[in-house]
Amino acid sequence: MTIAVVDYGVGNLFSIKNALERIGARPTLITEPESLTAFEGVVVPGVGSFGGCMRQLSRFEGVLRRALDEGTPILGICVGMQVLFDGSEESPEEGLGWISGDVIRLPDSVLVPQMGWNTLSIKKETEILEGISDEDFFYFVHSYACVPEDRSVLAATTEYGLEIAAAVSRDNLFAVQFHPEKSGVEGLNILENFVRFARC
């Protein structure tokens, strides 16, 4: 089972690689766009700022778009979820725009970043949330939150100052604001769901 992890030069991919290995997948770190071919699934991680990620990720935009159109399951994580949207209050760079909507700053009424474990409110059935319940906690670290225009993409939300998109899905495109690779057993379950879906 080969899963590509897009290594576009931001942050440490050690955790996501370790977590995928733990659930029996064979992750490959992809550093060049031309290497992103014939994978059963693609993980787009992301840490740091929206603009920083987009600047580095832009050279992968074409191959990722092709993978998406060909039906390859794609999973965005944290800023890797935010870049799927049109743009962010954090940076002037444009996002990939695969999901309509913007990324906004968390409100001043709460400590920013949201850092820690929060529960989900599941909005629809989707492959990656199979077996996950509203009582399970996931590890969030973020200062900005995605606001999809079309709420039908919302798979789960979490409450932090306002209702935040925690997971979105549309066909073969999935994304989570939290870090499944840092969310204990339940996080590993989500990665396992993704890998299982990618295998079908």
Partner 1 sequence: MLARRIIPCLDCDLAVPLGRVVKGIEFKQIRYAGVPWELATRYYEEGADEIVFLDITASSDRRETMFNVIRATAKNVFIPLAVGGGIKSLDDVRSVFKAGADKVTVNTTALKRPGIISEIAEEYGSQACVVAIDAKRRDGPGDGRISVPTPKGESWFECSFYGGREFAGVDAVAWAMEAEELGAGEILLTSMDRDGTYDGFDLPLTGAVCERVRIPVIASGGCGNAEHIFEVFSKTGASAALAASIFHYGEWGVHEVKRYLSDRGIHVRL
User: What is the distance between the alpha carbons of residues 40 and 32, in angstroms, rounded to a whole number?
Assistant: 17
- Residue 121 binding partner 1, by CB under 8 A: no
Q: Which residues contact 74 (CB under 8 A, 6 or more apart)?
A: 41, 42, 43, 44, 64, 67, 68, 172, 173, 174
- Report, in this order, helix, strand and coil percent for the chain, each rounded to 5: 30, 35, 35
| Residues in region 145-164 near partner 1 by CB under 8 A | 159-160
**Residue from 117, 131, 171, 199 binding partner 1 (CB under 8 A):** 117
**Residue 73, phi then psi, degrees to nearest 5:** -65, 130
Q: CB–CB of 120/138 below 8 Å?
A: yes
| Residues in region 52-91 near partner 1 by CB under 8 A | none
Q: Is 90 a catalytic residue?
A: no
Instruction: Pick the piece of the chain touching partner 1 (CB under 8 A) from 59-67, 94-102, 111-119, 126-134.
Output: 111-119
Instruction: Pick the piece of the chain touching partner 1 (CB under 8 A) from 27-35, 44-52, 65-73, 123-131.
Output: 44-52
- The one catalytic residue in 53, 146, 181, 192 is 181
Q: Is 79 helix (H, G, I), strand (E, B) or coil?
A: helix
User: What is the distance between the alpha carbons of residues 118 and 108, in angstroms, rounded to a whole number?
Assistant: 18
Question: 38 or 185: whose CB is closer to partner 1?
Answer: 185
Q: Is 179 a catalytic residue?
A: yes
Question: 153 or 175: whose CB is closer to partner 1?
Answer: 175
Question: 48 or 62: whose CB is closer to partner 1?
Answer: 48
Q: Whose structure tokens read 């998109």?
A: 165
- Residue 9 binding partner 1, by CB under 8 A: no
Q: Is 159 a catalytic residue?
A: no
Instruction: Pick the piece of the chain touching partner 1 (CB under 8 A) from 61-69, 95-103, 108-116, 125-133.
Output: 108-116
CA 167 to chain centre: 8
Q: How big is the chain, counted in residues?
A: 200
Active-site annotation, residues? 78, 179, 181
Write out the residues near partner 1 by the rule CB under 8 A: 11-12, 14-15, 18-19, 22, 47-49, 111-119, 137, 139-143, 159-160, 179, 181-185, 187-188
